[in-house]
């Protein structure tokens, strides 16, 4: 096709884009806003009308949010079928609001859109031509055509292989990074689409090397599932777990750009309600906390709080004195443990049994002191004594010190702060492992909590029943109090009206109690705004999600997996990772090892094999490191070569930081650049960045998980290898973050796998 014809086609597509899509979209937005304003005016003061108004407001606001979020490159593709049908593909579906409801845009997730991603010359799916339209704001910047059947096209115009939208894909890959992940909705490839639209309702593991688009596929799968199963997932929600806060920020705009919101994004450190764990600890300590040995440790810590008195404890009751001894508490403890309930939930059984034993002992004591020495109190008398004791604060306090109400944070802190408690909870452990758990407590807040602590808190919550039935009872009690307060408020309003109200006031005048009852008033006080599914799920530890996606899943410890699985009882999950990149000592090298305890063999593995991110020049070295790791999987095949050979830059130790920052700020580099350093050099380099007034980010390997940059400077790869038993996996991650250029700055000898890297002077 000639250049002039392409120019004409571009003008046509631009006119279609502006007139057919955005003009209609603007009108639909205006109509939505007009209907919302009309509804707000028309709905009056009754509770039912206000509820209806709020429902309309949420619905219309959601519509407007979707249009705004999807506006960037809303219309990106077109299919010309061999029967003459034309399908226009967009981020969201758009219907003309006339009586015919004509489809202006097909949602990319709709079944009719699939040929845009699946059609190849070998299997054209009835597609004659696939067109990709690239826009910026509301202007078309490029139009690329692929002819999938020869027809009148020249052989050079026909697409090749399994890579679809190849020109658009290469342009997207070569574009500079912005610091936020962009969606791949225009350039989804066949192997990715098959995973995104998988109908499997169990666990799907997406295994792929660096740059294969695992995260993008998972996010687009979330959008697809919300589109296909909205009736289920709009109520239960989708949880996406990422490796760190930077990663969540990086991916945060992908789903909104696809017209979806309300998905909960979280790290393991944030997954327990009310906790944001960011404190640091050694890798060895995190590995110990992540092991399944901790389940028994925590069980013993809870049982240690179900104690016995070391000597009889006298307590005043009425005009008598009763005694709490070891036999009484042991019998009550046996009853409570026999209930098979969690600690806090079994407290009622303990207290009931202890009070019963104490009342009977007191009755025997009273009976033996009577004049005839033989009269016994009746069962009703004993019941009265037990009831009276249950309301005696001193007796309750004395009994409950042997079965106290526990909270996860307090119990965990007290355990780790007490060497004796640690020793009792860890029989058979080495002293080194015990010492690794110990730390000083803090006065308040969660500043001492690490991400590895959070699964332990969740495990303790299960063991003690925290945030379950006891919390529900407390919430019901709180609601009853609020309901009573609301009724009191209405009574005051009613009582303040004149006694002869009916005679003196117009009967059409409505008072507060005519418009709202106590329950509605209490609800208004409690719920000042309607929470989204994600917001409600975030605050509820027992929320059951409809689907869970775990990214960088190879890093999760066994304890973290227990925590995640509690959130997804239906086991409908998408797990993304690469076991060759496992850097966490508590992480996994085997998906079967992770999943067998929960789903046995009922899971499927899907592989991604094409590396879209990392140029072939960099993958030469990354592949050698992968071989050193000994991973079973092959390195992914790089889609492109950019001609930039990685460079190794030697430096003196004293000039190492200066050399790294100077390299990161070379004038020929474009886009985002990051410096990846060994853990022990991180603080020094952060300080140096301020000294040199340098803008490139300084990251450890753990912090750069899941991220990508145009250019990467890796500092002292030998130290990265040596800092952990899984150091080569860390180096593999570090080398594969770049989309364009890789530099290695070193004062120490390079690892063998990088030994022949082209050397360059610091100022070259």
- What pLDDT does residue 752 have? 96
Those residues with Cβ within 8 angstroms of residue 634's Cβ, 6 or more apart along the chain or in another chain: 609
37 pLDDT band (50/70/90 cuts)? low
pLDDT winner (highest mean) among 73-87, 526-540, 654-668: 654-668
Q: Give the model's pLDDT for residue 631.
A: 74
Residue 649 has pLDDT above 80, yes or no: yes
Q: What is the per-residue pLDDT for 240? A: 94
Contacts of residue 378, defined as CB under 8 A and 6 or more positions apart, other chains included, come to: none
Alpha carbon distance 470, 406 (integer Å): 11
161 pLDDT exceeds 50? no
CB 524 within 8 A of CB 490: no
Report the alpha-carbon distance of residue 173 to residue 29 in Å, rounded: 33
pLDDT at 45 over 80: no
> Band of the pLDDT at 341, cuts 50, 70, 90?
very high
How much is the average pLDDT of 744-757? 96
Neighbours of 667 (CB within 10 A): 5
Please state, in angstroms and as integers, the Cα–Cα distance from residue 504 to each residue in 178, 499, 500, 507, 509, following that order.
Answer: 70, 9, 6, 9, 11
pLDDT digits (tens, 9 = 90+) for 90-141: 887 887 766 566 788 888 888 898 888 888 777 888 888 888 887 776 677 7
- Give yes or no for residue 495 having a pLDDT over 90: no
Average pLDDT, the chain: 81
Closest by CA to 88, choosing from 173, 169, 6, 17, is 17
Number of helices followed by number of strands (H, E) in the chain: 32, 22
Average pLDDT over residues 662-686: 95
User: Which of 114, 132, 124 lies closest to 82 in space, CA to CA?
Assistant: 124
For residues 612 and 259, the answer to whether their CB atoms sit within 8 Å is no
Report the phi/psi class of residue 240: left, alpha or beta, with left for phi > 0 and alpha for psi in -120 to 50.
beta
Q: Is 482 exposed, middle or buried (0-12, 13-18, 19+ CB in 10 A)?
A: middle
Q: Is the pLDDT of residue 354 over 80?
A: yes
Q: Is the pLDDT of residue 505 over 50?
A: no
Quote the DSSP letter at residue 21.
I
pLDDT digits (tens, 9 = 90+) for 212-262: 989 889 988 998 898 899 888 888 899 999 999 988 888 887 887 777 777
Q: What angle do CA 184, 188, 192 make, to 5 degrees?
A: 115
Identify the pLDDT of residue 443: 58
Let me know: does 735 contact 763? Beta carbons within 8 Å: no
Of the candidates 404, 408, 406, which has an alpha carbon nearest to the alpha carbon of residue 446?
Answer: 408
pLDDT at 118: 82
Task: Identify the weakest region by mean pLDDT among 103-112, 164-173, 255-264, 735-744.
Answer: 164-173
Query: 3-class SS at 217?
Result: helix
Percent with pLDDT over 70 in the chain: 74
Contact 568, 463 (CB under 8 A): no
Q: What pLDDT is recorded for position 25? A: 46
**Percentage of the chain exceeding pLDDT 90:** 48
Does the pLDDT value for residue 434 go beyond 90? Answer: yes
pLDDT value at 655 more than 90 = yes
pLDDT of amino acid 21: 43
Measured in residues, the chain has a length of: 764
Which of 633, 717, 568, 609 shows the shortest CA–CA distance to 264? 568
Q: Tokens in use for 187?
A: 């350039």
Give the CA distances from residue 629 to residues 583, 625, 703, 727, in Å, rounded to whole numbers and listed in that order: 11, 6, 21, 9
Q: Is 274 a residue whose pLDDT tops 80?
A: yes
The 10s digit of each residue's pLDDT in 541-577 is 999 999 999 999 999 999 999 999 999 999 999 999 9
The pLDDT, as a whole number, for residue 518 is 55
pLDDT of residue 83: 87
pLDDT of residue 679: 95
Condensed to tens digits (0 to 9), the pLDDT of residues 437-465 reads 999 876 567 788 999 999 999 999 999 99
Residue 5 has pLDDT above 50, yes or no: no
Q: What is the DSSP letter of 16?
A: I
- pTM here is 0.79
Residue 502: per-residue pLDDT = 45
Q: β-strands 547-550, 573-577: how paired?
A: parallel
């Amino acid at each position: 096709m000639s250049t002039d014809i392409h120019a004409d086609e571009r003008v046509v597509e631009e006119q279609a884009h502006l007139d057919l899509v955005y003009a209609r979209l603007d009108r639909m937005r205006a109509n939505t806003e007009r209907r919302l304003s009309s509804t707000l005016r028309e709905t009056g003061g009754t509770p039912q009308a206000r509820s209806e108004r709020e429902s309309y407001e949420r619905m219309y606001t959601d519509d407007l949010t979707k249009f705004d979020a999807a506006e960037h490159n809303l219309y990106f593709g077109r299919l010309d079928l061999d029967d003459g049908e034309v399908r226009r593909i967009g981020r969201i579906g758009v219907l003309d609001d006339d009586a015919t409801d004509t489809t202006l845009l097909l949602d990319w997730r709709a079944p009719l859109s699939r040929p845009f991603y699946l059609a190849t010359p070998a299997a054209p799916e009835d597609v004659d031509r696939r067109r990709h339209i690239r826009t910026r704001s509301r202007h078309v910047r490029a139009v690329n055509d692929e002819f999938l059947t020869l027809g009148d096209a020249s052989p050079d115009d026909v697409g090749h292989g399994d890579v679809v939208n190849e020109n658009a894909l290469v342009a997207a890959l070569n574009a500079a990074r912005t610091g936020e992940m962009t969606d791949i909705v225009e350039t989804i490839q066949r192997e990715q689409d098959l995973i995104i639209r998988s109908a499997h309702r169990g666990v799907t593991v997406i295994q792929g090397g660096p740059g294969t688009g695992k995260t993008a596929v998972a996010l687009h799968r979330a959008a697809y599932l919300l589109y296909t199963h909205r009736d289920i997932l709009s109520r239960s929600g989708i949880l996406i777990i990422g490796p760190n806060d930077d990663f969540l920020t990086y991916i945060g705009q992908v789903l909104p750009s696809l017209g979806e919101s309300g998905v909960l994004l979280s790290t393991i450190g944030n997954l327990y309600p009310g906790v944001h764990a960011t404190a640091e600890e050694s890798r060895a300590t995190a590995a110990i906390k992540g092991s399944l040995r901790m389940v028994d440790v925590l069980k013993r810590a809870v049982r240690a709080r179900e104690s016995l008195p070391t000597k009889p404890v006298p307590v005043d009751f009425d005009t008598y004195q009763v005694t709490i001894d070891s036999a009484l508490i042991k019998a009550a403890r046996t009853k409570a443990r026999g209930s098979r309930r969690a600690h806090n939930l079994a407290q009622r059984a303990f207290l009931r049994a202890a009070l019963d034993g104490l009342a009977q002992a007191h009755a025997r004591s009273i009976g033996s002191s009577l004049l005839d020495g033989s009269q016994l109190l009746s069962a009703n008398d004993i019941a009265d004594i037990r009831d009276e004791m249950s309301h005696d604060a001193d007796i309750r306090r004395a009994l409950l010190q042997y079965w106290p109400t526990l909270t996860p944070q307090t119990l965990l802190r007290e355990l780790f702060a007490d060497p004796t408690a640690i020793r009792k909870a860890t029989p058979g452990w080495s002293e080194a492992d015990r010492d690794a758990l110990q730390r000083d407590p803090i006065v308040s807040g969660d500043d001492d909590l690490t991400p590895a602590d959070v699964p332990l808190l969740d495990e303790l919550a299960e063991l003690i029943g925290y945030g379950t039935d006891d919390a529900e009872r407390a919430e019901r009690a709180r609601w009853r109090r609020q309901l009573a307060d609301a009724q009191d408020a209405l009574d005051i309003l009613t009582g303040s009206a004149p006694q002869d109200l009916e005679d003196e006031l117009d009967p059409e005048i409505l008072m507060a109690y005519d418009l709202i009852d106590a329950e509605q008033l209490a609800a208004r006080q409690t719920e000042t705004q309607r929470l989204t599914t994600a917001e409600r799920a975030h605050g509820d530890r027992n929320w059951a999600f409809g689907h869970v996606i775990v990214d960088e899943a190879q890093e999760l410890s066994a304890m973290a997996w227990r925590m995640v699985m509690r959130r997804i009882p239906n086991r409908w999950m998408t797990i993304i990772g690469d076991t060759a990149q496992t850097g966490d000592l508590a992480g996994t090298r085997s998906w079967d090892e992770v999943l067998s305890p929960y789903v046995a063999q009922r899971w499927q593995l899907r592989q991604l094999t094409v590396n879209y991110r990392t140029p072939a020049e960099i993958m030469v070295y990354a592949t050698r490191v992968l071989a050193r790791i000994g991973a079973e999987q092959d390195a992914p095949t790089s889609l492109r070569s950019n001609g930039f050979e990685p460079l190794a830059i030697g430096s003196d130790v004293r000039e190492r930081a200066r050399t790294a920052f100077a390299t990161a700020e070379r004038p020929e580099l474009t886009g985002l650049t990051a410096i990846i350093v060994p853990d022990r050099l991180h603080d020094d380099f952060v300080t140096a960045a301020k000294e040199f007034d340098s803008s490139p980010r300084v990251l450890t390997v753990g912090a750069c998980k899941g991220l990508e940059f145009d250019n990467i400077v890796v500092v002292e790869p030998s130290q990265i290898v040596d800092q952990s038993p899984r150091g080569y996996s860390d180096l593999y991650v570090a080398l594969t973050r770049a989309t364009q250029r890789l530099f290695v700055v070193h004062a120490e000898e390079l690892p063998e796998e990088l030994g022949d890297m082209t050397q360059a002077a610091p100022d070259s």
